[in-house]
Structure 1
Amino acid sequence: MATSTTATPATSQGRRTGADLAYRLLRTVFTVAPIAFGLDKFAELLTEWDRYLAPWVNDLVPGSAHDAMLGVGVIEIVAGVVVAIAPRLGGPLVAAWLAGIILNLVTMGEYYDVALRDFGLLAGALALALLAWDARRRRD
């Protein structure tokens, strides 16, 4: 879809296609989830996020693991907002961010289940970007 927040264009018969509905679903999920998880880095209602930071990453960033996770939270919130405003850019941004999370988790030698889940989310973020580019081409 275009970078605006207008509704997805309907087919010539006035009905939404499966691609239109999938686009809407993915755009909603990849807007809400990063913002929610980003906010939770500050609230820590879901988990203690610091334990998911690989030691080598913690050594690269200034401050403590908690400070790093607060920065991660800000980045996730920004990524969700970018998806909402410009999904053609936000989809690849979220996919790249998820790739970084996967690398972090795999190099820890733990949380392979979470890394695998995030790989599925990465594929979904790329699908969102492809649908957004396709919708843009159909509109132009």
Structure 2
Amino acid sequence: MGASVAGAAPSVSGGTTVLRRARTEPAYGAFTLLRVGFTVLPVVFGLDKFANVLTSWEGYLAPWIVGLLPFSAGTAMMIVGVVEVVAGVLVAVKPRYGAYVVALWLAGIIVNLVTYPGFYDVALRDFGLMLAALTLGRLASAYDPAWGRRDHAR
């Protein structure tokens, strides 16, 4: 999972477990909860872009964007699905960077949603999710070492 501020890496087998640490350290608990959420949800929503079980995703794509595309809205949403799955996996592997990818992706979704009427409520919800992704990125700077580093200098 990465090193903590104190330098003690969580361990699943013995020592400090992730769950115990999440219960006793509020900041680590928030980091863990956000990491799991921003791993699972983008993957689920990304996969659903291929199945359209949760909703018909093409309806969320602004008409002006559809007009710019050289392919159908359905194909565009499948590409979106791939990006979302990759973003979710990146959060799982390296939340320090993946959180900012998700935040940037959500910013793009917000721009899409506010450019035509009927989805301002969804855009506002996504703004809240973007803030949560940025929070994960900040927390990850304490709990997830940078590429090539094993622990923190803090």
Deviation at 1:55, TM superposition (A): 1.2
Deviations 1:4-45, CA, capped at 9 Å, x for gaps: xx748x6xxx85410000000000000000000000001110
**2:98 is equivalent to residue 90 of structure 1:** yes
Structure-1 residue corresponding to 2:88: 80
**Matched ranges for 1:4-19 at <5 A:** 7=10, 15=21, 16-19=24-27
Residues paired across the two proteins, number: 134
Q: Please tell me whether the aligned partners of residues 62 and 68 of structure 1 are also in contact (alpha carbons under 8 angstroms).
A: no
Structure-1 residue corresponding to 2:123: 115
Unpaired stretches in structure 1, ≥5 consecutive residues? none
Percent identical among aligned pairs is 54
Higher helix share: 1
**2:106 is equivalent to residue 102 of structure 1:** no
**2:58 is equivalent to residue 50 of structure 1:** yes
**Matched ranges for 1:2-41 at <5 A:** 2=2, 7=10, 15=21, 16-41=24-49
Q: Please tell me whether the aligned partners of residues 34 and 136 of structure 2 are also in contact (alpha carbons under 8 angstroms).
A: yes
Task: Determine helix, strand or coil for the equivalent of 2:115.
Answer: helix
Unpaired stretches in structure 2, ≥5 consecutive residues? 4-8, 146-150
Task: Determine helix, strand or coil for the equivalent of 1:108.
Answer: coil
Evaluate the alpha carbon distance shift between residue 80 and residue 45 of structure 1 in structure 2; reply closer, same or farther with a 3 A threshold.
same
The root-mean-square deviation of aligned C-alpha atoms, in Å, is 2.2
Q: Distance in 2 between matches of 1:128 and 1:26?
A: 6
Match for 1:61 among 57, 69, 92? Answer: 69
Deviation at 1:61, TM superposition (A): 2.5
Structure-1 residue corresponding to 2:148: none
